[in-house]
A and B are shown apart, each in its own frame.
Chain A
Amino acid sequence: MSQPELVTVTIDGREVQVPKGLGLVEVALQAGIEIPVFCYEPRLGPPVGACRMCLVELEGVPKLQAGCTLTAADGMKVRTAQTSAKAAEGQDATLEFILVNHPLDCPVCDKGGECPLQDLTFRWGPGNTRMEFPKRTLEKPIPVSPAIALDRERCILCYRCTRFSESVAEDNQLVTQNRGASSVIATFDDRPYRAPFSGNVIELCPVGALTSTQYRFEARPWEIQNVPTVCGLCPVGCNVAATTREGKVKRMLSRNHPEVDEGWLCDKGRFAFTHLYAGDRLIEPLRRRQRSGLEEISWEDALDEAERLLRESGGRIVTALSGSETVEQAYALGRLLRGGLGAHTAVMPEETSQALDAFRLPLSAIREAELVVVLGDEPVAERAPVVELWLKAARRAGAEVHYAGDAHESCRRLAGSDDELGGRLRESERAILIWSGEDGAGGGHVAALARELGFDGKPGSGAFHLPRTANGRGVADAWACSDDGESEAPEQIGLLIVSGDEAAADPNVRVLAERAERVLVTSMFQSLAAGWADLVLPGTSYLERDGTTVNLEGRLQRQRRAVMAPVPDVVAWIAKLAERFGVELSPHVSVVFDEIGAKCFGGITFADVHERAELPPRAEKVSDTSKVSDTVASGSGLRLVAYRPLFSGAAVERTPELQFQKPEAEVQISPEDAKARGVRNGATVTVSSNGTSVELRARIARDLGAGVVRIPRDHAGDLHATVEVSA
């Protein structure tokens, strides 16, 4: 991309050199001048010039202009309210009109104290309103969904929320109804705003019109703290701020990392924090009593018990990791088990591949791409939600986005020399591959494909793998560098250590447990551990930890403890245990990290992991054995993709405000396949694979290729890999 030409703009007498076409609001900021705005929000697309708060005087134009719609042109001379009486009058007028029907109920408004309207009124506003007529009064607040409330009297009709719904999330569910003074923000037929990114409208709203039902009346701005951290619920690792009050998390806000999330969060990341306060949260350790369930024991006894289990099973230990642990937790476990007991065998949630490091790009590069190919039939939004928003942004920017279907098959097809799409991928300077399939080895496959297509030499082309876990890569690397010994997987498992809730919920881990003499589980929740564990050590949430994680880009990010856990810190008690086995391990995360940093993050220290972490440069040379997949999809009939929905899992289960978001008992089917089987949209159908069958509502999905059906895992019953659908 060529350098944009610089132009000179004069604002309130100050000259600034800025790129031609830069928005005037930004130009003004560079000159140290604030142009107040309400509706202006560049992330929502082109300016709409609706609220008229930004009125300025433009030399040579008699009428006041909306500053937000002006762009820098050479010789442009602008006077804002600071130096132009006319502009000031205009702004004052706008504020008076906005307040004409505003309830001015700041004392009882959640936005009070952090409300742009309140601030601007203090700074510019008319001291007293001349409006003495009945204000527009409307039914309030009305639920936009179980998670969002709308107060239409406070709404200033800036259309930020509806523009987000139309032009960013593209769900077109939150709209404006009626005209003129009767315009209101609404959903269809007052049904809930049911979409994965709905919560962003709360943050976008410049007044207290759209508020979080979780946060209503929970806190006032001067009582809260916003702790900068990183979301731990998916591999994107959106940058967030946890608002806390009196040691409790009250809400999650975005903390715009322009390369990772651009300030958007999915509703899981935003609302699911309430799992910290779930009824079945484990506080005390539990030990199995001879055929009489679990009994609470003290932490001291629990550590003794753990020590006993470790000693008696000698080396015959297998560790099942979740991939949601911090780098430091995984490393600490590794030091204890591998270093202290020579127990090197671990079950990783997914394979990870270093090969991708050679094709590393920031997620924001997706928007710059001209050609994007998604490999695999798992909905991107369900695996790594915010990536879906980058894809939509890419499409809006004119990129061609392809859904290639079965990951392995399309990998082979695209690698082939005669494939048309493959050919264009080779030619393009800005092409991106995204693996969104179940197979954890996808990282290696997609990397191999990228190399095959000659992406190495192209800084604009890259590849991503959407893993299932938040920190799979970090956990694998940390475990790997925690010790360099090796050992055979034990014939007979003496002790199975299950680290964390994802592992505890994993059917494969349960199978292992069958084969284990003893099972030690760390988990946040009673229900996940009860029944099969001999010893349960209460776990912590990502909001209660200090440490680091590695997201799907390969970006090392800092997780900060937002609130103290009601239980001991995991690294701390592992350190205690380690001591008993003569392993030297600091209970302090920063010390632990510096040790890891030296070994596997190129010698960086804890302090080097910044608030908005940078993406490490592409690996020049990676020793890598991965090759383009050669697994062949088998069987006839329709291939079943039983995906793990975004709105599922331990945290979502424990968040009342998210229950309505859970996927319905639906089978998604391509238009072709539906036609061939006489299946109508919305009709109840039978999905069967030899022996078993389930009744589901059919939804015809235009984004789905023929030969595949999609069913949320929880609704797929025991269906096999290939199924039939009948009306």
Chain B
Amino acid sequence: MGLKTMLLAGADEHDLTRLAEYQAIGGYKQAPKALAMSSDDLIAELQQANLRGRGGAGFPLGRKASLVDRKSPKPKYLVVNADESEPGAFKDREVMARVPHRLLEGCLIAAHAIESKDVFIYIRGEYLTEYEILQAAVDEARGAGLFGDVNVTVYRGAGAYICGEETALLDSLEGRRGQPRPRPPFPPVQGLYMAPTEINNVCTIATLPAILELGAAGFDQIGTPSSPGTVLFSISGNVEKPGNYELELGTSMRELIYTHAGGIAGGHQLKAVIPGGSSVPALTARQIDVPLDYDSLGAIGTFFGAASLIVVDERCCMVQLALRSTKFYMHESCGKCTPCREGTRWLVQILEKIERGDGEAADLDLLRKVCDRIEGKSLCALGDFAVWPVQSYFDKWHDEWVAHVEQGGCPFGGESSLEGIFAPSDQHTHSPVAEVPA
């Protein structure tokens, strides 16, 4: 367990954005291996490797590929989800900026598995530099004839967190408002342009060359049996050395925080860890002796999510944290389904009231109830993402909430590390609505 490079192998020693250097360390030797196999054999190999999706749901890539309707007369599409917008996540960005060719080689492998000739990489619009690097890599590799008859298109988003949700991404890629589609039909059957589509996260795809190199059996030696391989973890917030660390799955959270990330900054105490990006339930300081893998985190009531830890020290007011987090999800709600659109706005109103110190006991009660009423009702998981963290802050740091009500204000008396942060989220909304201030 511990540090182990696979995704980023060679990136410290070489400039792997350059095709020549990537090839010098054995790059683009795995794709031909894959192309030499039949798509059935390749899928079998990938299923055995049991590589679990790094984008959030943790669904095995091999299984997903096997569900793609390869018999369909329509073209098959591979779509790489590079929309990375989950607060706390910045790993896909580093992969694209430092090992773009590894991602592209992964694309060639995955494309062959599902018999696809068309690859789209949907990268969030804010990642301009990364887009340029990736596009340059695509041009260079294509120029070198490495793509054969496969087209790789890098497509830029335009600023919408929801477009990370796979079906919303497809709508956005089709030139629409990026709103989730009901499922079924699932993308492997009916995805981009109504054709069979495989969608995977950047890190998932960029791991494929390693699997071909080590073989499924070899790959399974790394990490834990149910969560093989390495993961590039993003860690941010109140730690000494925030950043991305590639670790074997199963490495303990404490090791990541204290050994690699240098512990809590400025000698403060650990208060909370949000382990999967801001959308998952938070853990208390007492819960960090847990192996970082899908099942272990699931077992203690949270999610592996986007493998992105946000570390929070004792100076942070959890009510403010909840409010800031909820404002984000309210702003990012696509507006398609009722509970998410109306519920997140209502939550923000309740949270503001409590944070201001105007809250009563009944409001605490209402807050929790509204959370539960959103959970599990929305069209996509964004509704859940909005309430899971709030529920956990509310339940695990309950005294702070009660204090807000009893003291008629924030117990941190203006000293919270988040004091004053609330960027009015309506600043983002676009002009045409005439919203008469209530």
Contact = CB atoms under 8 A, between A and B. Distances in A.
Interface of A: 47-53, 55, 63-64, 66, 69, 89-90, 93-94, 96-98, 100-101, 130-131, 133-139, 156-157, 159, 176-184, 186, 190
B344 A180 contact: yes
Contacts of B333: 179-181
B373 A50 contact: no
B160 A130 contact: no
A90 B374 CA distance: 9
A49 B377 contact: no
A66 B379 CA distance: 8
Contact of B434 (A52, A138, A157, A179): A138
A327 B426 CA distance: 63
Contacts of B330: 180-181
A209 B157 CA distance: 33
B414 interface: no
Contact of A97 (B336, B338, B426, B432): B338
Given A136-B435, A181-B344, A52 B339 contact: yes
B407 interface: no
A506 B182 CA distance: 54
A93 B335 contact: no
A179 B429 contact: yes
A48 B436 contact: no
Contacts of A139: 434, 436
Contact of A176 (B182, B335, B346, B426): B335
Nearest to B329: A180
B438 A131 contact: no
B286 interface: no
B341 interface: yes
Contacts of B350: 133
A51 B341 CA distance: 10
A64 B369 CA distance: 17
Nearest to B436: A137
A97 B343 contact: yes
Nearest to A152: B433
B376 interface: yes
Nearest to A101: B342
Nearest to A142: B434
Contacts of A182: 335, 426, 429-430, 433, 435
Interface string B335-355: 111110111111001100100
A100 to B, nearest CB: 5
B40 to A, nearest CB: 28
A107 to B, nearest CB: 22
Which of B334, B346, B438 has its CB near the most chain A CB atoms (within 10 A)?
Answer: B346
B177 interface: yes
Given A98-B338, A180-B341, A66 B434 contact: no
21 contacts: A47-B182, A50-B336, A50-B379, A52-B339, A52-B377, A63-B376, A64-B377, A69-B184, A90-B377, A94-B339, A101-B345, A131-B346, A133-B346, A136-B345, A136-B435, A138-B436, A139-B436, A178-B335, A178-B429, A179-B160, A182-B426
A179 B335 contact: yes
Q: Name the residue among A64, A98, A180 with the largest chain B CB count within 10 angstroms.
A: A180
Contacts of A178: 335, 429-430, 432-433
Interface in B285-341: 330-339, 341
A504 to B, nearest CB: 47
Nearest to B373: A93
Nearest to A98: B338
B128 to A, nearest CB: 22
Nearest to B336: A50
Given A50-B379, A177-B433, A178-B430, A134 B338 contact: no
Contacts of B332: 180
B252 interface: no
Contact of B337 (A50, A64, A177): A50
Interface string B174-191: 000100001010000000
Nearest to B438: A134
B366 interface: yes
Nearest to B432: A177
Contact of A52 (B184, B337, B438): B337
B403 to A, nearest CB: 23
B48 interface: no
B212 to A, nearest CB: 36
A602 B160 CA distance: 65
B335 A183 contact: yes
Contacts of A98: 338, 342
A638 B377 CA distance: 60
Contacts of B345: 100-101, 136, 180-181
A96 B374 CA distance: 11
Given A138-B434, A138-B435, A179 B182 contact: no
A90 B343 CA distance: 13
A157 B337 CA distance: 8
Contacts of A94: 338-339, 377
B438 A135 contact: yes
A338 B334 CA distance: 70
Contacts of B341: 97, 157, 180-181, 183
A639 B434 CA distance: 49
B416 interface: no
B429 A48 contact: no
Contacts of B376: 63-64
Contacts of A135: 438
B417 interface: no
A52 to B, nearest CB: 5
Nearest to A177: B432
B335 A181 contact: yes
Contacts of B353: 133
A513 to B, nearest CB: 55
Sort A-B residue pairs by CB-CB distance and give the 5 closest, nearest first. Answer: A134-B438, A49-B182, A183-B335, A180-B333, A93-B373
B378 interface: yes
A184 B339 contact: no
Contacts of A130: 366, 369
A182 B426 CA distance: 9
- Centre residue among B184, B337, B376, B378 by max chain A CB count within 10 A: B337
Contacts of A176: 177, 335
Given A98-B342, A179-B334, A182-B430, 18 more contacts: A50-B336, A50-B337, A52-B337, A93-B339, A94-B338, A133-B346, A133-B350, A136-B438, A137-B438, A138-B435, A139-B434, A139-B436, A179-B429, A180-B344, A181-B341, A182-B433, A183-B341, A184-B432
Contacts of A49: 182, 337, 379
B377 A184 contact: no
B387 to A, nearest CB: 12
Which among B177, B339, B350, B366 has the highest number of chain A CB atoms within 10 Å? B339
Nearest to B376: A63
A175 B297 CA distance: 43
B182 A66 contact: yes
B332 to A, nearest CB: 7
Contacts of A157: 335-336, 338, 341
A138 B342 contact: no
